[in-house]
Structure 1
């Protein structure tokens, strides 16, 4: 019997660490045979203890290679010219790509067969293998990044009294049964690669930036940070009906919330492009990557019919009571504008979905009788005036007075305290702020 290395045959004199690479490469491609006890040139050296060699390889496969590959390997001891060797038959695995556990789903951990050698796979090849074995559902595919943390997600679950342990992560689809993170896990992790870009423009066109920022991190962190970014700029305007003052914010908070959640839950994450939020003087736009799901029309969406692109992600948001089980988001947006004389607009293309919220305080008729309170220019002065009138204020009082969110208010008060404009006194629930003496 003549032994020669080829695309499907690998020869090793003894059991060495590199054997892992050869086994992974065969399992990721079309299978192959590994002979132990034979030199590269085909010379049969034999093994003193073939059973021990087979056990070494078996332990190596079980402990160092993921996903589990043991069922795709068959061991046999052969006698050639009076010498014993071990033949390992490796079949193509069904959960490709296989990889060295310590190195993860990266080129340095994934190997494929190329000619007579086992070489690192490219990211493109890795993605193709994942798609072939996991299907086209992005959130269920194994993540290319496996070194993930979930600090912000844990905080979010804790705030809503929902458990977030290993069992729950598997149930939700964040981790597979083999403890491999999915793309859903990547989206909720602190290492999420997808971002949201937000910009504030002067006027009604994209001619001049007033502010812009890119938000990253877990989708939960992006959700909170983006909402605060908008909320801080969602100005309150006052009108008077005889002796009574009527306050109205530029954008209904319900509409902002639902549009943002729609942006997060329904976007197409298989594309790496950022989603966009644009704030003009007359409107607020949310532009999400990914058009309508196939078979669903714009009329269906406005009627409340919802076919979710990311069902597992939507399930997570549903469990946290951030969204409802049915497609009520768009209806809530429309209802928030009922009776205002203005209507939100929805535009779609093959690859994008846009929600346009009109500024309730931007109409010419309303502008004639509006007294504008600019949060950007006079917010700190308002806090100082309120504190002077009352002697001291709490964060909650400032929130209500300014009409801003908890996080935005916290940042404002911290900044003012750091600048020496106010003093923080007390701790916990007794925390309050007063003016320097």
Structure 2
């Protein structure tokens, strides 16, 4: 931790963190190279100076290079809680290394946390994720791209049954107000990082993220909140499937919502009464078993169509049924099929 403390003293009064010489000059960039290759963008250390990763005068690595390197010491922490408070953990993850890797792995994990609830309107089943995927993506990008990296603390994401909070270090830059950013005004703290994310098409243009988050909740009663202090920026996304505080739904409507569960590894040490939430899945399991009894086998696509669920949820459901000894999974990818266990 000496390294972080020394960094904090050096960077505290820096005008531009990105351009300062990195304390660690033994850097590798495997995760960054993967991100470039994934988007068919040429990756070459010859471009490091123009990208802001090397100082043009002495060719030393900059702090921007350190952030993008595999040796980056900043982390992203995600905690999932039971209920609407923060007293009982369901799961917690910490992502480290290059901030490109943290973005990729963090977003993948948030997609697993983002449950889908099913409601029936007449004969039609309507599936709705707890959080709009675009809002999750933009809130995560905002936290990573615009945080103040001169602080050594982690980006914190807390998820419970009511909302998801994204907390990053660093308030607004001098001269900006909350109203300014809500109106699309952008003054990036980490300009070169933002430019690089724009080049990789992680963002479309400056100043559009907050607007996208708001628009993702256009048809919802509850709206996102932005809480800003001198040293923190918090985005709160309400759970679209939770009961509205202003206008509570009747119990009949609330009980008609059926959730798919979190994967097993996200529920270490749950009490027996907490496990009762899995009973909502029994009807889906019976539907799958009945189908297999009649048709003998089923593809993953057929499972999605039968239950009207997404690919990720189909994967979690089939894996749980396999672990319980109900089905056998053969093959991978498009050739994956499910059979009853004999």
TM-score range, shorter chain: 0.7 to 0.9
Partner of residue 165, structure 1: 44
User: Aligned partners of 1:410 and 1:179: how far apart in 2?
Assistant: 47
Tell me by how many angstroms 1:207 deviates: 1.7
Instruction: Say which of 326, 336, 339 aligns to 1:432.
Output: 336
Partner of residue 203, structure 2: 323
Q: How many residues align?
A: 310
Name stretches of at least 5 consecutive residues in structure 2 with no aligned partner: 263-277
Partner of residue 137, structure 1: 16
Counterparts of residues 28-43 of structure 1 (less than 5 Å): none
Whether the aligned pair in 1 keeps the contact of 2:127 and 2:309 (CA below 8 Å) is no
User: Aligned partners of 1:294 and 1:401: how far apart in 2?
Assistant: 49
Summarize deviations over 1:344-385 as a string: whole Å, max 9, x none. Answer: 010000000000001111123176423222322459x75993
Tell me by how many angstroms 1:396 deviates: 10
User: Aligned partners of 2:142 and 2:87: how far apart in 1?
Assistant: 27
2:142 is the alignment partner of 1:256: no
2:288 is the alignment partner of 1:385: yes
Relative to structure 1, the CA distance from residue 271 to residue 415 in structure 2 (aligned partners, 3 Å threshold; closer, same or farther) is farther
Quick check: which one's helix share is greater?
A: 2
Which structure is higher in RCO with an 8 Å CA cutoff and minimum separation 6? 2
Instruction: Say which of 236, 241, 253 aligns to 1:356.
Output: 236
TM-score (norm 1): 0.63
Relative to structure 1, the CA distance from residue 216 to residue 124 in structure 2 (aligned partners, 3 Å threshold; closer, same or farther) is closer
- Greater C-alpha radius of gyration: 1
User: Aligned partners of 2:212 and 2:90: how far apart in 1?
Assistant: 30
3-state SS, counterpart of residue 293 of structure 1:
coil
Summarize deviations over 1:298-349 as a string: whole Å, max 9, x none. Answer: 0011111111000011111101101122201000000000021121010000
Partner of residue 266, structure 2: none
Partner of residue 329, structure 2: 423
Partner of residue 206, structure 1: 86
3-state SS, counterpart of residue 277 of structure 1:
strand
Name stretches of at least 5 consecutive residues in structure 1 with no aligned partner: 1-105, 108-122
Relative to structure 1, the CA distance from residue 208 to residue 310 in structure 2 (aligned partners, 3 Å threshold; closer, same or farther) is same
Tell me by how many angstroms 1:433 deviates: 3.6
User: Aligned partners of 1:318 and 1:383: how far apart in 2?
Assistant: 47
Counterparts of residues 86-97 of structure 1 (less than 5 Å): none
Whether the aligned pair in 1 keeps the contact of 2:7 and 2:150 (CA below 8 Å) is no
Partner of residue 80, structure 1: none
Summarize deviations over 1:211-265 as a string: whole Å, max 9, x none. Answer: 1121111111111222122211211112222222211111111111100000110
Q: Which of 141-150 and 312-321 deviates more?
A: 141-150
When the two chains are superposed, the root-mean-square deviation of aligned CA atoms in Å is 3.5
TM-score (norm 2): 0.79
User: Aligned partners of 1:205 and 1:360: how far apart in 2?
Assistant: 17
